Amino acid sequence: MIERIEGNSVTEFDSHKNYGHREFKPKVEPYDPSKPLEDPLDIWPILRTFQETARRFQLRTAIRAKNAENEEAYDIITPIPMRNGEIPPNFPETMDDLRRLSIEEIDELLRLYDIARRPAHDATRRRIFSGFLGCRTYC
């Protein structure tokens, strides 16, 4: 028998059995950064927050994969408003428009959205903006 720690309790299980189908759920509250941890070594709340973020990312990836089946629907980029609620006039409407943007236009969009300071390489700036738009491949 091997002991396994689950949250705040310890359970025993047989090592030859497959427990991979069971989802591991720690018995703790979600991590709240405004409250100090009772035990500085108790990292389960932080890990749980990361797990929830990963699940949301997997869901977004699944939706993008489904959209990729219909290439025309995927080619259209959903406009993303800036902090003031407006959409920049040179915002690309399709993936082809995004590929045609010059580095200067991408720099301007990065500045308008306040995404990043100017990275060193042109390809890096394209990659950052493509990732911001949720493109499955960068341009």
Rounded mean pLDDT, 6-20: 49
What confidence score (pLDDT) does residue 108 get? Answer: 79
Is pLDDT of 98 > 70?
yes
Answer left, alpha or beta for residue 7, where phi above 0 means left and psi between -120 and 50 means alpha: left
Assess if residue 30 is contained within a domain: yes
Angle at CA of residue 130, ends 75 and 99, nearest 5°: 60
pLDDT tens digit sequence for 53-89:
666 666 666 656 555 555 555 566 667 777 777 887 8
Alpha helices per DSSP H over the chain: 44-69, 71-75, 95-100, 103-113, 122-133
Assess if residue 98 is contained within a domain: yes
What confidence score (pLDDT) does residue 139 get? Answer: 44
Q: Which residues partner with 10 through β-bridges? A: 5
**Domain co-membership, 44 together with 30:** yes
What is the domain extent for residue 57?
A: 2-69
Is pLDDT of 52 > 60?
yes
**Domain co-membership, 24 together with 44:** yes
102: which DSSP letter?
Answer: -
